Structure 1
Amino acid sequence: MERLLTVQEAADSLQISESTVYRLCTRGLPHIKKSFGLRFRQIDLEKWLDYDKRKAIHADNILTNALTNSPPLVIDKAKGGKGKLAKKKPTCFNYGFGHVRLRTYKSRNTCWTIDYRDENSKRIQKALPYVQNKEEAALTLQKEVANVFNRRHGIERRRGKIKFRAFSEIYLQYYAMIVNKSWKTDAGRLKILEVFFKNTELREITPLDVERFRKSRLKAGNTKSTCNRYMALLKRMFNVAREEGYVEKNPVQKVKFYSEKDTLKERILTEDEEKRLLGTCSDNLKPILLIALNTGMRRAEIFNLQWSQVDLKSRRIRVEKAKSGKLRFIPVNDVLFNELCRLRNNQSPFVFFNPDTMKPYVDMKKGFKAACRRVGIAGLRFHDLRHTFASRLVEKGIDIETVRDLLG
């Protein structure tokens, strides 16, 4: 079976940044969508480089005309060689912005060479003794010509000024929406960031500005953990900006995140609390709580669970599109089996759905909090049901590795 390349390996093969790979995927770069991310075939990347699917590798479309309008490969007839060159005619491939040649010497040894012009229009010919084929030589030529382009137009062209609001739109469209499953959350937080930074030049934002933004969120009532989520988003955004050449440094790197030790205390549900909670919750909420307590699945995994993932014969649930990107299987115990059999007659592909819209639930926070309040259970979050599942497994003597695999 052919091995597929990761985004990082594809970036190394194309000699571009990972963020540029994501952007090129929206412009025709051949790729395969997997549940755990994007994958690439090496042969597709080589074809994309060799023929008319060639795209610019920089944010400002460096070498777009040269790379995308490459003429078909032609073989030139070279004149008879002199000196070290053999009398045999070398094979030459014309890419429009330079040539790749296979030279054959009197010793019958062969060597790939590249031929192009520098920023002063001086002809440059280089031998590539370690290159094994035409594709590798073409990649080397492309890199050299890109460097010539950068020197000719100055480094400031790639590091041009851009305002925060404009780059946040680029980040959301060409990065977050492609690689981040929770990009809608990022979109909401970016709106808050845009209100604060407005049209400030991206490269003029300092660590002090970042501190001021964080302080403003605390005053607005956000918790320290929520402020950390804003900081993490801002840090990712500036990392992409640095890769693209818009900024030289990431101002968020000098800002220390808040400690979350006091805010992330786990709350384990006792058996008595579980009985009281299940006894008072609604008919729609009860099966959701049962699957959370008996599988440890995340909230989004439960709400998006489909019957195609539930195998009642083998009594297991197949969890796809997990946060970790890994496929996992969770056994179904008797309590959960009986509940799933009761729900199996519904007419929706989803196990849990809103009867009014026939679509999966987005959230049941209000119903969950109301049920907890009615039975006097304080400080319990839905995510704590996942902690309860893991804690009970450990108490029964299940090893940590197995628990980790079940949680995903």
Structure 2
Amino acid sequence: MSRVRGIFKRGTVYWIQYAGPDGRIVRESAKTKSIREAEYFLACRKKDIIEDQARIIIPKRILFKDFAVQYLRWAERQKSYKDKRNRMNQLITVFGNLPLNMFTSHLIEQYQSERLETNRPATVNRFLSLLKHSFTKAVEWDMASEETLKKIGKVKLLHEDNRRLRFLSKTECQTLIETCTPHLKPIVIVALNTGMRLGEILGLRWEQVDLRHGFILLDKTKNGERREIPINSVLRATLEAIPHGPESEYVFVDRNGRPYKSVNTSFPTACKRAGITDFRFHDLRHTFASHLRMAGVDIVTIKELLGHKTLTMTLRYAHLFPGHRAEAVSVLEERLSGTDDKNMDVLHKN
């Protein structure tokens, strides 16, 4: 009998060989000593593959930039929409013209490495998380294959070290303010005197600023809770000096009345002129909290001003005022030494 293609013998049992759905060669035992039964088994396997492939929806050649438009439209009502939009726009500049099913693990890992040259692991992770989530929706909407999602899913998030605590000295703060451009200067002063995040500052509206009662009300914060920030004399003078009319909704706007989107160019330039290295805008928030702590302000108050949900994040500033332990013991010493005799008298009487 002539040899049948895809069927071979191992001992006395016939085996079959065929190409699987992904093109890889599959070999398995037909569990029979009959060539006819082996042929039938092979034919059934091939038929199953053809039928399965017919049921698979092959996504069209959709470019990442076109998909991104639909994803952002879907995310429009989410609280995190602005962050997603900003990150997605940056992803579009890199991957915009790439078809969704051309994404690979190697490609994403390369992107990670490149971003790490200028960004912290935490920042890079936010972009990767967005990519992963967006591709989950792409598969759900039949715009990308499960295989592509698996490839992206294999890329692991980077280890984040959140212990960094970089802050400026009083002298550095003054030097930085002096080197700022006119539009950046009040933004930096607000950051140094409130500890507000960049997004909170650039999105600040005049209706949130109560100069009469002396506070700024943040109603849409990162942790979803409202917080009030007192306005000190320096901050008051800065805010009062900013011109605004009834048509100006936002506090910080360009010459066309539009709110600033970022300080990605102006802030690093100011730092360079001031001779300040390894410093990010977010570190102004650390500077605010660090100087409060060094001035003896308690951790709970700093937590409330920063808007931290728990004390865990705020405790990073605890070591900046080691004197608080000595003060605590001194208070206890005074209290005990002043009441010892009276307490002893009471005990003796009882």
Q: Indicate if the aligned counterparts of 1:307 and 1:349 stay in contact, CA closer than 8 A.
A: yes
Q: Which amino acid aligns with 2:57?
A: G
Question: Does residue 1:212 correspond to 2:107, yes or no?
Answer: yes
* Alpha-carbon RMSD: 3.5
1:336 to 212, 235, 238: 235
> Which structure's residues are more often helix, by fraction?
2
Structure 2 spans left out of the alignment, 5+ residues: 1-50, 308-350
Structure 1 residue 294, shift from structure 2 partner? 0.8
Please show how residues 4-403 of structure 1 align to structure 2 within 5 Å: 160-163=57-60, 165=63, 168-169=67-68, 171-179=70-78, 180-182=81-83, 183-190=85-92, 192-196=94-98, 198=99, 200=101, 209-215=104-110, 218=113, 223=119, 225=121, 227-241=124-138, 247=146, 250-261=150-161, 265-343=164-242, 348-354=248-254, 356-403=255-302
Q: For this pair of structures, how many residues does the alignment match? A: 246
- In the aligned structure 2, how far is the partner of 1:401 from the partner of 1:174? 40
Normalised by the length of structure 1, the TM-score is: 0.51
Gaps of 5+ in 1: 1-153
Distance 1:254 1:277, change over 3 A: same
Distance in structure 2 (CA, Å) of the matches to 1:320 and 1:285: 24
In structure 2, relative to structure 1, the CA distance for the partners of 1:324 and 1:157 (3 Å cut) is farther
CA deviation digits over 1:378-404, x for unaligned, max 9? 222211111111222333444444433
Distance in structure 1 (CA, Å) of the matches to 2:205 and 2:258 = 11
Which one-letter code corresponds to 1:365 in the other structure? N
Alpha-carbon deviations, 1:306-341, whole Å to 9, x = none?
A: 211111121110113333333221111122122223
Mapped to 2, the partners of 1:364 and 1:294 lie a distance apart of: 18
SS at match of 2:265: helix
Kept in 1, the 8 Å contact 2:195–2:306? The answer is yes
- The 2-side partners of 1:170 and 1:351 are apart by 29
Q: Displacement of 1:188 after TM fit? A: 3.3
